[in-house]
Amino acid sequence: MKFEKDVILIGFSLLVLISLAFPVGIMGEQAVYWWADGMSFVLLLLSLAIGIFKLFSPRQDLFTGLMVAIAVVIGASAPIRLIEEASTGGFSAIGLWIYVAALALLAWRAMALLSLVANKNQVIALVVPALFGIWLIYLWQVITTGFAIPSVLLPSPSEIGTAISINAATLYADFYQTVIKSVFTGFLFGCGAGFLVAILVDRVPFMQRGLLPLGSLVSAVPIVGIAPIMVMWFGFDWESKAAVIVIMTFFPMLINTLAGLEATGKIEYDLMRSYAAGYWQTLFFVRLPNALPFIFNALKINSTLAMIGAIVAEFFGTPIVGMGFRISTEVGRMNVDIVWATIAIAALVGSTFYGVLALLERRLTFWHASYRQAK
């Protein structure tokens, strides 16, 4: 850890100092340096001072990690101000990119320090991945703006945020159509049916020989083959998309639930027999609790499959609303910022859905061996 800290300290300091000798932008035909914008230069020096001071500190606690994170935030503001004031000129602004590399080292150190206390603080455990995601978005913003990448190829996060705010009403209608109507309905019916059929198959073992090969067969069928058929059967509205999701989520839940039910050991069975417990008592009090990790695994897999299935299914016929419809139509109109805005909302919804299930899993299966930590 000491060697890592020294390497990061030396690398960060040298790169920041080197960046001062190179231009960070171009205004007209004149090279622009850090001191061209007084506030940017002050922010750079302030982040350098905090970073060096805290990296020299022998303490490796929460306060040190937060101070280094603050230095990263302050330092990250400097390039944004310069990019807004002057054209970066792409590779001509070599000083800017050297500084961004130095800032990456400081961000690395901040997340490393915060990770040391993440196991003791649940809030920090959530902050560390959030900071990593924010850092990636920041790099996206700086690179797309600094190299003046056309928005048709890749819009910046700020352009995507503007598209979301301008088209909020339309995007909300798409969200309601796709997520609330199609995804949630198909997810509940598909997972619920898979769970109930798994109980039935467990009770009637000969059905397992017929259903599991069928599940493998259906799972191999691509969405683009199922979606048009469901549209013909159930119409263009959300019902056909929910039907696609039911087919996609049914068999993962069935297979995982069966695997979980079979995970109960002989010792548990013998214990329940000693209590004169019947099939249903053993099922509810022993086998289903043991199967919860497998069931939640299926739920988390299906949460992403449901989003993908609904959006892809909307490509094959839908009313003039829906996230898949919005992506397919706006691409044809070259409104790439709206396409990315829709993708961002879909990614956020899918990640939130997955995160809620993971949190619920942690609450209900805290006793499982995968959550036990060595002390």
Q: Which of 111, 108, 129, 62 is nearest to 358 (CA)?
A: 129
123 and 212 belong to one structural domain:
no
Residue 179 covered by a domain: yes
- Sign of the dihedral defined by the CA atoms of residues 131, 136, 139, 141, in that order: negative
Eight-state DSSP code of residue 370: G
Domain presence at residue 157: no
Assigned domain for 158 exists:
no
Q: What is the structure's pLDDT at 210?
A: 66
**Residue 61 belongs to a domain:** yes
Quick one: which H or E segment has residue 90?
Answer: none
Integer Cα distance of 71 and 79 in angstroms: 14
Question: Looking at the structure, do residues 26 and 112 belong to the same domain, yes or no?
Answer: yes
Say whether both 218 and 85 belong to one domain.
Answer: no
The answer to whether position 355 is within a domain reads yes
- Residue ending a domain, among 115, 149, 183, is 149
Asked if the structure places residue 44 within a domain, the reply is yes
Q: The domain that contains 302 carries what CATH number?
A: 1.10.3720.10
Residue 375's pLDDT is 40
Same domain for 256 and 339?
yes
- Please tell me whether residues 136 and 54 are part of one structural domain: yes
How many domains is the chain built from? 2
Query: Is residue 204 domain-shared with residue 311, that is, in the same domain?
Result: yes
Cα-Cα end-to-end distance for the chain: 21
Contact 314, 324 (CB under 8 A): yes
**Residue 374 pLDDT:** 43
**Do 189 and 324 share a domain, yes or no?**
yes
Residues 34 and 74 in one domain: yes
Q: Are residues 105 and 173 in the same domain?
A: no
Q: Does any domain span residue 58?
A: yes
Q: Does one domain contain both 118 and 179?
A: no
Could you list the residue range(s) of the whole structural domain that residue 240 is in? 164-371
In degrees and rounded to multiples of 5, residue 292 shows phi and psi of -55, -45
CB distance 279 to 223 below 8 Å: no
Residue where one domain finishes, among candidates 117, 149, 181: 149
Task: Flag residues of the chain having pLDDT under 70.
Answer: 1-6, 9, 26-29, 36-38, 51-62, 81, 84-92, 118-119, 121-122, 206, 208-212, 215-216, 219, 368-375
Are 192 and 105 in a shared domain? no
> Do 106 and 188 lie in a common domain?
no
pLDDT at 208: 66
The per-residue DSSP string of 116-143 comes to HTTTT-HHHHHHHHHHHHHHHHHHHHHH
Is residue 217 domain-resident? yes
